């Protein structure tokens, strides 16, 4: 299995920059910077920001940040899949996951949207046959708190420290998927980590 498109999910605009819902943007930006991708460019027709990566051992990749709001993320993904002739099986989506603690990351190849509006829109527009890298943002502190308020809020200072310290691991998760394929990558990314297992993945 080869992958040609990496999509990070988030909302456009500076007011959303460091919210929990935008961690997918941050991971793909960090991946682009590490791999030496071309500068990000706004493609208005495709409704996204695009950075192309070529000449890498990971192959030619289209890196994407949709410029629609989260619940219409699939519009951009669908347009770019059509433009570059990329099937759903060759797409990786990186997004925030409330069912994982901050600092955790999981790879999955199937599953429902789990209440994530961005993922739901992509599934409805290109089919669910894409890889998902789920980045933990932790659950709501209060059950009665509206989900939108939580995901659109910013990380606490402690959680932000964890996200920043774990960013390399998030980026390495993409690299493992691209270089090893889904089964081997899943074995490494999804295994339980010991508290002192800081150098793994």
CA-based max dimension of the chain: 49
Calpha distance 133→168 (Å, rounded):
14
94 - beta bridge partners? 8, 133
| Spatial CB neighbours of 119, under 8 Å, sequence gap ≥ 6 | 9, 73, 93, 95, 113, 132
Q: What amino acid positions are annotated as catalytic residues?
A: 21
Return the structure tokens found at 92. 């990786």
Question: Are the C-beta atoms of residues 28 and 8 closer than 8 Å to each other?
Answer: yes
Sequence length of the chain is: 201
Return the structure tokens found at 80. 């770019």
Distances (CA, A) of 88 to 65, 126, 162: 16, 6, 32
Main-chain phi, psi angles of 126, to 5 degrees: -125, 0
Query: Strand, coil or helix: what is 144?
Result: coil
Return the structure tokens found at 119. 């993922």
């Amino acid at each position: 299995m080869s992958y040609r498109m990496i999509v990070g999910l988030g909302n456009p605009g500076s007011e959303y920059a460091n919210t929990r819902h935008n961690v997918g943007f941050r991971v793909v930006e960090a991946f682009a910077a590490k791999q030496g991708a071309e500068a990000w460019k706004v493609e208005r027709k495709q409704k996204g920001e695009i950075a192309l990566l070529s000449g890498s051992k990971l192959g030619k990749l289209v890196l994407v940040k949709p410029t629609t709001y989260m619940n219409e993320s699939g519009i951009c993904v669908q347009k770019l899949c059509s433009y570059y002739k990329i099937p759903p099986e060759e797409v990786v989506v990186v997004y925030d996951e409330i069912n994982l603690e901050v600092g955790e990351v999981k790879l999955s190849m199937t599953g429902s949207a789990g209440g994530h509006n961005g993922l739901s829109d992509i599934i409805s527009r290109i089919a669910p046959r894409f890889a998902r890298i789920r980045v933990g943002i932790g659950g709501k502190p209060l059950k009665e708190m509206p989900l939108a308020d939580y995901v659109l809020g910013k990380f606490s200072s402690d959680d932000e420290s964890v996200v920043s310290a774990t960013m390399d691991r998030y980026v390495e998760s993409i690299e493992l998927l691209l270089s090893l394929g889904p089964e081997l990558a899943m074995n490494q990314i999804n295994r339980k980590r010991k508290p002192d297992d800081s150098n793994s993945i």
